[in-house]
Amino acid sequence: MRIIPISVPTPFYIGPVNCYLIAEEPLTLIDTGPKTKEANEALRDGLRKARVRVSDLRRIVLTHAHEDHCGLARSLRDEAKDAEVLVHNWETGHRAGRLEHEEHRALLVRAGVPGNEIEAMRRLYQQVRLYADSFDQNEYSELQDEAELEFNNGALRIVHTPGHTPGSCSFIREADRTVIAGDCVLKRITPNPILSVDPIDPTRRFPSLAEYLVSLARLRAFAPTLVYGGHGDPVNDFEELFNRYLRAVRERQAQVIGLVRNGGATAWDVSRQMFPETDDVHRFLAVSEAVAHLDLAHSEGKIALELSEGKEVYRRVGGDERKL
């Protein structure tokens, strides 16, 4: 079973996205690139070099439903006629008519984001949505944790690795412990645990960073020899990356705790101090990062959290800063 990476350009800050062709029957494509002319051409070029036509594809599998990964899924599926689209049930980005904006807005209000900023984020988000076609509910199947994607020769084990998004999945070829990890593992940057609604209880937010750390540990238990990420080069030294990520999380946590003043601070306050220069979509990513690290610090008892006038305010605990 050959895994053939295809690099596809995106209009996003992150740069090109990696799609993976599994050159084995049934022919399977993991991730598709965004819905742009350039991405479409690059993907077809990559398939052509592997002597595969879009109409030969039998499965389109999504590591997660961000636009840079799922954007072309629908048009490819339409062209490949009976290709099956597979995505984890906790993903929402590919769904038609989803109502999540209102749920999302509630999370942003609680995180202390001002109304005009929420509105700007919503407008931006609508722009980003244009880079993906959506699916009706009966048009895709569910990726199940621990199930296998079977091929004539070999299989990929599906591992649910939430964190970056609630329904992010990785795929493991156990014969040589190769992993396709989507945005769960990126060589040069620490993935951002995006502020997300909890798929089980939409009134809560998903504990993305805590879940992410569990996912990383789970992947580590497979002792990966090679990890193909959603962006950038593959990772040959997962152990080094694992430890680097943990250090980055601890350092960021110390920073966010330090930014919580005695009078208390919202995640928005903290994000503006952490990244004062950021604008547009990066303000959302910044507040996601702040929420994720504050939540983890709170769950570890390192800071206190109280609700004040509909906003969550983090406070220092015990007044002993040295403990941090």
Residues that bind Zn ion (CB under 5 A): 66, 68, 183, 230
DSSP annotation of 192 reads P
| β-bridge mates for residue 29, sequence order | 21, 60
- Minimum Å gap between C-beta 8 and Zn ion is 11
Cβ proximity to Zn ion, 183 vs 312, nearer residue: 183
Of 15, 57, 59, 53, residue with least CA distance to 34: 15
- Minimum Å gap between C-beta 308 and Zn ion is 32
**How many CA atoms are closer than 13 Å to the CA of 255, on its beta-carbon side?**
17
- Minimum Å gap between C-beta 51 and Zn ion is 27
CB 226 within 8 A of CB 236: yes
Residues in CB range of 301: below 8 A, 6 or more apart:
317
Phi-psi region of 22 (alpha: psi -120 to 50; beta: other; left: phi over 0): beta
Cβ proximity to Zn ion, 66 vs 94, nearer residue: 66
Angle ∠(68,85,55) on CA atoms, nearest 5: 90
Q: How far apart are CA 57 and CA 21, in angstroms?
A: 9
Cβ proximity to Zn ion, 64 vs 302, nearer residue: 64
- Minimum Å gap between C-beta 170 and Zn ion is 13
Cβ proximity to Zn ion, 69 vs 272, nearer residue: 69
Q: How far apart are CA 184 and CA 159, in angstroms?
A: 11
- Minimum Å gap between C-beta 61 and Zn ion is 15
Cβ proximity to Zn ion, 13 vs 138, nearer residue: 13
Which residue has its beta carbon closest to Zn ion?
66
Cβ proximity to Zn ion, 163 vs 230, nearer residue: 230
- Minimum Å gap between C-beta 287 and Zn ion is 17
List strand residue ranges (DSSP E) for the chain, in order: 2-8, 17-23, 28-30, 59-61, 84-88, 141-143, 148-150, 155-160, 169-173, 178-182, 226-229, 303-308, 311-316
